[in-house]
Amino acid sequence: MKKIFITLFLLIFSIIILLPTGNVTAQEFNLRSYIVMDAQTGYVMYEKNADTPYPPASITKAMTMYLIFEALENGQITLDEKVTAGPRVKTAQTPGAQTIFLQPGHQVSVRELLTTIAVPSANDAAVAMAEHIAGSEMQFVAMMNDKARELGLTNTLFQNSHGLDAPNHYMSARDIAILSKRLINDFPQVLEFSSIETYRTQEQTNHWGETLFYESTFRSLLRKHRGIIDGLKTGYTEEAGRCITATAFINGRRVIIVLMGAESISQRDNYIEQFMNKIVTDFRSVIVAEKENPVEEVPIPRAKNRLVQVGTLDDVSLMVPNVNPDVTQQIIINEGVRAPLNKGDEVGKVIYYIGEQQVYETPIYVLEDVPQANIIVRFFRGIGNLFSKLFNLIF
């Protein structure tokens, strides 16, 4: 009987230690690097070699699209204006590279070029837009690198607008995720282009005058997970391998999944689906602050009441691990804040942490009018604070 009990105990113990722990290990995925990030907060759920730079291939065009949308927003260009292709479009039409067969002098709208950058990942379309916005591709590349620094991309350097392999042309998985987060949050209309499964050109034709039909470079994922995956960009060269930055709605939240160096399209897609399943298993979305409800009571100088309720103007939700969801908050009050204050005045910020990772910060506001204490109360409080400081110095 004792022997049977010991055997049963060892069997149960073996099953327990083999259960998944909720953490992805590097051995599970044959990739150079990866990162999975919450698109709202930037919280990193999984990562491997996320700060190591690698060739990004056509994921480069995520930055190209960012600058195109920025030019659209500031009125420098419009979707319907015509772009005249320059001679450098031919340099991007290398054997095996995706192209829309632009010839120098061809005129195509910004809308068509942007669509063919997003859907089939046309290199010559990227060059045409780069020259149209900056005057030359090299000037546009300088803009790309300036924007990379502005967005805090610390392991990124561009040499062209399309992503064909070039010396010192690289991005890290973390930088790709940060750029993707900014692209979809700053210009959510990008998803109207990146979610297109197939596209037939309206203006551009081939050598025989026929319009061109293209499939998205990740149509398999868009079609299989319609309504869940809606972006964003893929890339492939022999040096880079199969790369992707994918955006998807999981557990009611948008997440970004960046993979670098997959061996095949099927492996790339399979890994994306594995990560999607792991997120459902390992994480959940929780509300950590409710709109106009207090997150803390804080002292405000000169206020009638010693402690004042502060909160956020909107609900704050975080993606947290199912196991050990160690969420903490830090309240920081701006320098110079003092009563009197009106309801809704911004007084500082709240920073949220999961474990040691800072994941989100948002402004905080007073939730009610904060009248100033009268001069007598302020006098005695000042005296009390002085004695308190003296006591601390002595003892």
Reply yes or no: is the peptide bond before residue 232 cis, omega within 30 of 0. yes
Residue-averaged pLDDT of the chain:
89
Is residue 55 over pLDDT 90? Answer: yes
For residue 111, the tally of other CB atoms under 10 A from its CB is: 15
| pLDDT given for residue 14 in this prediction | 37
| pLDDT given for residue 387 in this prediction | 56
Is residue 132 over pLDDT 70? Answer: yes
By the 8 A CB rule, do 16 and 9 touch?
Answer: no
Q: pLDDT digit string (tens) for 206-265? A: 777 788 899 999 999 999 999 999 999 999 999 999 999 999 999 889 999 999 999 999
DSSP code at position 266? H
Kindly give the residue spans of alpha helices, DSSP state H, lying in 19-121. Answer: 61-73, 110-118
Sorting pLDDT into bands at 50, 70 and 90, what band is 169? very high
- For the annotated binding site for substrate, the residues are 233
Among 5-9, 285-289, 333-337, the range scoring the smallest mean pLDDT is 5-9
Q: Is 91 exposed, middle or buried (0-12, 13-18, 19+ CB in 10 A)?
A: middle
- For the annotated binding site, the residues are 233
Percent of the chain with pLDDT over 90: 78
pLDDT (mean) for 157-172: 98
In terms of average pLDDT, the best of 138-147, 199-208, 304-313, 377-386 is: 138-147
Query: Half-sphere exposure (CA, 13 Å, Cβ side) for 339?
Result: 21
Q: pLDDT digit string (tens) for 63-103? A: 999 999 999 999 999 999 999 999 999 999 998 889 999 99
C-alpha 361/C-alpha 313 separation (Å) is 13
Sorting pLDDT into bands at 50, 70 and 90, what band is 375? low
Are β-strands 33-38 and 283-289 bridged in parallel, bridged antiparallel, or unpaired? unpaired
By the 8 A CB rule, do 38 and 319 touch?
Answer: yes
CA separation (Å) from 31 to 27, 94, 157, 174? 9, 27, 21, 14
- Domains of the chain in start order, with CATH, are 26-283 (3.40.710.10), 290-394 (2.60.410.10)
Q: Indicate which residues carry an active-site annotation.
A: 58, 61, 121
Kindly give the residue spans of alpha helices, DSSP state H, lying in the chain. Answer: 2-18, 61-73, 110-118, 123-134, 137-150, 173-186, 190-194, 219-224, 265-282, 375-394
